[in-house]
Amino acid sequence: MIIKNEIPILEYDNFSIEVIKPNHGCEELKLPEKCVFAFLGDCVDEFAMNSNAIIAEEFENCCRTTNIYVIEYKGQRICLVRPNIGAPASVQLLDRLIACGCKKIIATGSCGVLRDIKENAFLIPTKALRDEGTSFHYLPPSRYIEIDRKMIGEIKDVFEKLDIPFEECITWTTDGFFRETREMVQYRLSEGCSAVEMECAALAACSQKRGASFGQFFFTADSLASVTEHDERNWGISSHSRALHLALNLICNI
């Protein structure tokens, strides 16, 4: 039964079967249970190449072909991907990975900050404000989505063992990059949001819908803390390789 609403994004169908299934075209593909979902640019492909990764499948869209890698890391088989930016594109890929066997997912990438947090700091989101559209196709409407507490605990344990400082945070997931207005930034900040990015709520919703465990950590990049001026800083680029190795170590410990 469809939950109906005058506003289409608030309508939700919980029971009927999708016309196009997430594993469409790759029904025989069997991926490892553990997956690193890394918004980390070229360093993902470079690491895969240097690790003699197998390309298990190519995920094609009109913009780019994404290699779905399978690597051996610390004696474990791990799925490693470099998704496209943004909730719709990244969830389309994640949904396929889950359908093909990935059940434990660690995502990592950069975020903007809404308050004064230095660049290249690590944040662990505990819940995400759903200011994008994709998550509403996977879970009924709500203001926030809670991140898997068990996965949060696993991430925190590894950070603490490695003596890496971090903060827990509420993140603002938005797909309106150019609509982060001054007043909206202040409003989100007043709600307790410290970070802003474009995927977390949707990735968490997809994982919950499909019965997979999902956790994420960010490294801080640009800043909206001054509200009147956007500070690009260095986009957190120096954290890419470190975040990838952290994510791989995390997934091995889960």
**What CATH superfamily is the domain 29-252?**
Nucleoside phosphorylase domain (3.40.50.1580)
Please enumerate in sequence order all residues whose Cβ is within 8 A of that of 33, keeping only pairs 6 or more positions apart, or say none.
101, 102, 103, 104
The answer to whether 86 touches 198, Cβ cutoff 8 Å, is: yes
The pLDDT tens digits along the chain (254 residues) read 898 999 999 999 988 999 999 999 999 999 999 999 999 999 999 999 999 999 999 998 777 899 999 999 999 999 999 999 999 999 999 999 999 999 999 999 999 999 999 999 999 999 999 999 999 999 999 999 999 999 999 999 999 999 999 999 999 999 999 999 999 999 999 999 999 999 999 999 999 999 999 999 999 999 999 878 899 999 999 999 999 999 999 999 99
Q: What is the pLDDT of residue 63?
A: 78
Residue 61: its pLDDT value, please? 78
pLDDT of residue 60: 85
**Domain boundaries of the chain, sorted by first residue:** 29-252
What is the pLDDT, as a whole number, of residue 214? 98
If one counts every other C-beta atom within 10 angstroms of the C-beta of residue 249, the result is 16
C-beta atoms surrounding 94 within 10 Å = 26
Specify which residues 168 forms β-bridges with: 124
Give the model's pLDDT for residue 142: 97
Asked if 131 and 223 count as a contact pair (C-beta separation under 8 A), the reply is no
166-202: string of b/e by CB count within 10 Å (b at 16+)? beebbbbbbbeeeebeeebbeebbeeebbbbbbbbbb
Give the pLDDT score at 129.
98
The pLDDT value recorded for residue 196 is 98
Query: Whole-prediction pTM value?
Result: 0.96
Residue 184, pLDDT score: 96
